[in-house]
Structures are given as structure tokens and as C-alpha cells.
Amino acid sequence: LIDKRIRYLNLSENFITINGVNTICDFLRHNRTIQRLNLSRNAQVQFKAEGVKNVVEALMASESIDSLDFSYMNLTGCGESIGNFITTNKSIQSIILRAVQLNAIDFKNIFVPLKTNKNLKEIDISSNDMGGDKSLQYIADAINENKTLCILKMDQINISNDNYEIIFKAIEKNKTINHYSVNFNSKINPKIMLNFFIKQKQVKYLEYEPFDKDNPEDRKKQLTLEEKKLFEKFKTDRPDMEFIYK
């Protein structure tokens, strides 16, 4: 593998153990061509945060890696390693951390260095328990100061009627993020969400499905007739935006 010009390495769903991670890392340290690495859904208990730490350390000096996907694993405690990688590596453009059980400390360790990062274009922190409004504030502070991020995916992170102003004020100020995904944040009134985003002219792509039908709490919820009309009006009033909803 070291001698081949591999650009995309997909090792998802392989039940990789920590020993397997170390073997992969030996390869990554010598590789100079991999651009995308997918390690998602390796649910082996041994992988955890230690596996992430080993992978990002192996890639720390890489000049080719631009996308990392660690989604759908229990990686609580990985924030420090990811934050160090964001600070040090100069080629990474996309980090996917969907449903990896980040805690409040992880959010701090990831989003504080993101404030001054100049190369990351996309981050996905969907389906993680925010652990309180403090985590949302870390995200907001990064949105306020970062000048290069273009895509932010925040599906199912418990944005609610009580805390939405924290993140909305930051989105208003940011001029580079033009793609947002905010699906399944069912604790915020859809009217509040749509009335906010219709005014954000810098946003050109929005994914917003209010309710997750796989979630028992959301299963009985439905849009009111007024809200359904608002969704249709949104699409009419913002023809410049690609608006994705069901």
C-alpha cells in the first residue's frame, strides 16, 4: 500500500481494534497521497479516543490529507486530539464527527482552535449531546471568529427555543459559512428557524427537517398548517437558496 498512489481509503465498518489502528498508522506515516480517510462505524470498543489520537498523530505532518471521517463511534474524550490536529495540520479541509458522543470538554477542545484555523472548510458535529449551552457558546465563538469555514452541519444537537439566540447571533455575523444543516433540532419552533434563515442572504444551502421520525419523542409531532405554508413560502422567497426539506 505504501507504494500505491491511494487517494481515498475507506476502512469503515471493519471492527478495527486498537492493534489494527496501530498497523494503519504505520502505513499512514509513510503515505504521501491519501486525501480522504474514512474510519467511521468501527464500533469495536477498543478503538475509542485512543485510536483517534494515534491516527491524527500519524497524519499530523501530512500535506495530502483533506478529509477525515470518524463518525458513528464512541469517541468521548477525542476532542483534545482533534483540536491539536486542527491547530497543526495545514491540509485538512473536512472533519466529520457525526454521532461520536462528544462531551462539553470535547467541544471546547475542538472549537477553540477552530477560531483561528485557516484551512478547514467543513465540520460535522451532528447527533452529539451538547452537554449544555456552554458547548453551543464554543461553537458560536468559533463561527464569530473563523474566516474560512464554509459548511457547518449541526443536525440533532438540541438547539431549542431557550438557547437558539447563542448560535443565531454568530451566524448573522459570519460571512463565509454558506451551507448549514440543522435537521432534527425538534426543540426549536420551526417558525423561529425559518424566519431567521430567510434573512441570512449569505446562506445559499440549507437542510432543515424539523422532526426525526426514528426518534420516539418526535414521532407524534407534525407541522401545523401555518408551518407548512411557511416552508413553501420560504422556498418561494429565497429562490437563490437550495432549500432541502421533506
d(CA 227, CA 3): 56
pLDDT of residue 3: 55
pLDDT of residue 4: 67
pLDDT of residue 45: 67
Q: Is the dihedral of CA 182, 184, 188, 190 positive or negative?
A: positive
d(CA 146, CA 227): 33
3-state secondary structure of 243: strand
3-state helix, strand, coil in the chain (%, to 5): 35, 10, 50
- Nearest residue to 117 via CA among 95, 136, 100, 99: 95
pLDDT of residue 44: 63
**Which backbone phi and psi does 232 adopt, to 5 degrees?**
-65, -40
d(CA 90, CA 18): 26
List the pLDDT tens digit at each of the 246 positions of the chain. 555 688 999 999 998 888 889 999 999 998 999 999 999 998 766 677 889 999 999 999 999 999 999 999 989 999 999 999 999 999 999 999 999 999 999 999 999 999 999 999 999 999 998 878 899 999 999 999 999 999 999 999 989 999 999 999 999 999 999 999 999 999 999 999 999 999 999 999 999 999 998 888 888 888 999 999 999 999 999 999 999 997
